[in-house]
Amino acid sequence: MAWLTCVMARMTVLCACLVCVCLVCVRAESCLMISEVNSDNPKFDTHEFVELFHSSGARTSLHGYTLVLYNGNGNQAYRIIDLSGHTTDDRGFFLIGSMELNPRPSVLLPPNSIQNGPDAVALYGPDAGTFEVGEHVRAHGLVDALVYATRRGGDVEELASILTPRWPPFLEDPSLFEEDESIQRCLETEHHWAFHVAPPTPGRANECVPPSPTLARIEELRLGGLVTSRHVELSIATEMGAMALLAFDGQTGQVRRTADIAGSGQSSRLLSVLIDTSGTGSSSGAVALYEGKVEDVLARSLMQPVDAFVFTEDPESLNATLLESLTPGRQPYTLTYGWEDGLSLSRCGVADWSRDSGTFMEAVSTPSVANLCPWPKICPHDIVFPDGTPAPTVQPWLGADFLLNELNSDSPGAAENTEFIEIWHPSGTRTSLEDVWLLLINGQTGRPYREISLSGYFTDADGYFLIGSNGLQPQPNVVLPPNIVQNGPDAVALYRSKEPPSAQEGVPTLGLLDAVVYRAPGNDKSAQVLTEALTPFQLPLLEDPQALPGDESISRCQGRPQTLDAFRVGPPTPMAKNVCPRPPSPEGLAINEVGGALGPNYTQESMFVELIGPPRTSLVGLVVMVFEGGTREAIPLKGSIGDDGLFLLNHTSGTDAVVLCYGVGVCDADSEILDSVIFTDVPLHLKNLPATTGHINPAIRAVADGRISLTRCSCCEHNSPSSWITSSPTPGLPNHCPSPTYSSTIHLCLEPQPLDGQDQAGSNHTNTSVEPVSTDCSGEVAVYLEQQCNCGITTLYLQGVNVSCVSGLMYLQGSIPALSEHQRALITHTTSSTHSCMRTGSLALPVGIVLGVIFLMLMGVALFLFLYRRKRPMDYSSMELSEHVEL
């Protein structure tokens, strides 16, 4: 049996190795792509070329492939190059170009053969069939394409809509470099590629150099291996102050190692920091770079890192909160087999954003010098190829998705070079736009006239993203040619989809996030097709140039998607908060109950927020913010309060505080706080909450079996801690509040504790007047009683109790309600066993009573003797008649 066990174990190891090899093969699927195009040379265009590259990096047959050059004027093929019979070189490169080019191309072209644009280069696979010069552009059999234009303009929309429907035409700017330049494909992040302009590199790897960081970034990491070999290399772009480097455990999300980096006056340099970057008993972790010292960073849990890298061997074991907080919207770097022996990773992606682990690749370690990046042996996910790698998946933000925030389709002047479309995410934070599409739709045809993929982009730190003309300030994230956004009747629509929405028949509706249908003044043409599909039963918006002096835009003033009455005409505010009139907030609304906030027995099903208010009150414009630790979730409300005066909102996250505000998609400094409740005592959490909220002592708990909720039992006192108790949950039902049915009578005397250095029998004890007790004092009494019984007593329980002060002592008389018979028994036992006024130093009254009794007894004896002597007759014979005795 021992030998059988050994054989089975070896077979298991062999199978595991085969699986790893297969996984590597899947990841290493290869394809042919357009790598570089140089269509416009100085002087006589004698060095033009098209460079192809096979991602295997090896000699590969090109049998069946065809390269077609399209003219943007007429969208017809002007040159066809059959690649059958050719192969790439030993490194995977294949060159087509002018005879004077060095190195010599495999396919020679006469000078000035590749037109300058607006034109296109398209690569077709073996199943595309045959082509003829003059043939109209087609997409069947397409493998890869580049549509390019120049600043001199020209219509290239049809070419782009057919060959690259997800991407705008690339603009080749000959003024970027003194001599020549070419359009080169570079890896941005993971499987996402993009074209850039750089000095020509025919027949060799492209000049794919990441842009200089704004402040600093992580350039190289060493994972696994000996502890002494693990390091993180940083690139410093400016004179920096103190910075902190933190290493996290990937499973728990806890900080494991820290390193302070002193400030320096040097700039543009590499800095290597020795830090243990491996996991602690796990195969995942993260490294993040922050501004400030370590102690300051640890004290501010919401601080955003300057750059971060997250890695894992098993994505299922990675802490999701850590991933989203450090690299929002991005995927972790997946480690390869055998990384424990040591793995060097270098930043090779040219993405101009930071905090993206997909920009790193396995490469030779180059400490203190520029990274040496290999050519990525992966296919761009936008290549239409069976073996292409799919795009990374990104989960949308919980609670809401992207909205169209502002539209300016008609700017002053004939050029109309300040048109723009602004997108906004209700989280108000930097968010990935992966799988998000923007479509400009023609009102006459009902079809998109421009489709823009926003994958690979991020919003700014406030959630804004701008698409607009080149004359706009601030500079748009995606630049459009002037006068592109039609004046109407047309539509702008936002989608979340893996595939181009334009592939749908008719007006695209699948995956629709938000839409705006609009028209221009004097243009009353029907937009019925757009309206029925995108914004049913709503009239198109009008951007009225007479509404304001200068320019104007259509601005969102409410948070509901696909709702045109949420927009107003106002001054343009690109990348800034919209100028909106503030309507009066609804009255009488308050937070009524919060479930799943306290206690060990809550589940996701028990987490809810219940609002109370006048029946059928509209909730439009209201936002519930749920805080948990350093995170927050904004939930824009829809609908109205029910006929029973309640509105129930379920959520799935833990809770430290709940805020009800009146704003646009999120509670910020400009929002009106209607009600709030906090039940945490963590200073870091309290620091990030609105200043006007009421704080409930989290130690207060109810006498309840099972789940516990926070319940409002005092009407209409907003932001008031005294309005709340803890009891059993009652979602959608009347709250479970203290009832007179379980009330108990209380007669209690309490003596305030003396201050240090003062006599208990101070001057206040001589005051015999009755003094009313303040609310703060009632709160102290409630805290004292709760400490004695631990039965859930709060200030609210003492509303029916008469509390007064006499001679420095506090007297409580009245009745205390309770939630149940059990809670009443605890209260009765506590109040009956509490005798604070009988302590040493409080004997003045008993002593006075005793002395009074003795005095009365003496007076009684004297009176008895006097009456007794009056009753007996006087003996006048023996009486001495003298004046003294007579008296």
In this structure, of 270-274, 381-385, 405-409, the range with the lowest mean pLDDT score is 381-385
pLDDT score, position 679: 73
Q: What share of the chain is helix, strand, coil (3-state, %, to 5)?
A: 15, 30, 50
**Inter-residue contact 312 to 284 (CB < 8 Å):** yes
pLDDT average, residue stretch 289-294: 89
Q: Could you give the CA distance from residue 168 to residue 158 in angstroms, rounded to a whole number? A: 11
If you average pLDDT over every residue of the chain, what do you get? 77
What are the structure tokens assigned to 15, written together? 């199978």
pLDDT score, position 278: 59
Q: Could you give the CA distance from residue 355 to residue 649 in angstroms, rounded to a whole number? A: 34
Confidence of residue 689 (pLDDT cuts 50, 70, 90): low
**Inter-residue contact 676 to 694 (CB < 8 Å):** yes
pLDDT digits (tens, 9 = 90+) for 839-849: 434 455 566 67
CA atoms within 13 A on the CB side of 558: 17
Q: Shortest CA distance to 491 belongs to which of 469, 511, 510, 514?
A: 514
pLDDT score, position 656: 75
Q: Give yes or no for residue 388 having a pLDDT over 50.
A: no
pLDDT average, residue stretch 615-630: 80
Q: Give yes or no for residue 117 having a pLDDT over 90.
A: no
The residue ranking higher by pLDDT, 871 or 693, is 871
pLDDT score, position 573: 93
pLDDT digits (tens, 9 = 90+) for 717-772: 666 667 788 888 888 888 888 888 888 887 777 765 544 444 433 333 333 334 44
Residue 242 CB burial class (10 angstroms; 0-12, 13-18, ≥19): middle
174-178, 277-281, 814-818, 865-869: which is most confident: 814-818
**Where does 419-573 have alpha helices with state H?**
528-534
Q: Shortest CA distance to 322 belongs to which of 257, 253, 245?
A: 253
**Inter-residue contact 86 to 66 (CB < 8 Å):** no
pLDDT score, position 406: 95
pLDDT score, position 169: 78
pLDDT score, position 6: 41
pLDDT score, position 711: 85
**Inter-residue contact 827 to 789 (CB < 8 Å):** yes
pLDDT score, position 354: 81
pLDDT digits (tens, 9 = 90+) for 425-473: 887 777 888 889 999 999 888 899 999 999 878 888 788 999 999 889 9
What are the structure tokens assigned to 318, written together? 């990675």
pLDDT average, residue stretch 596-613: 68
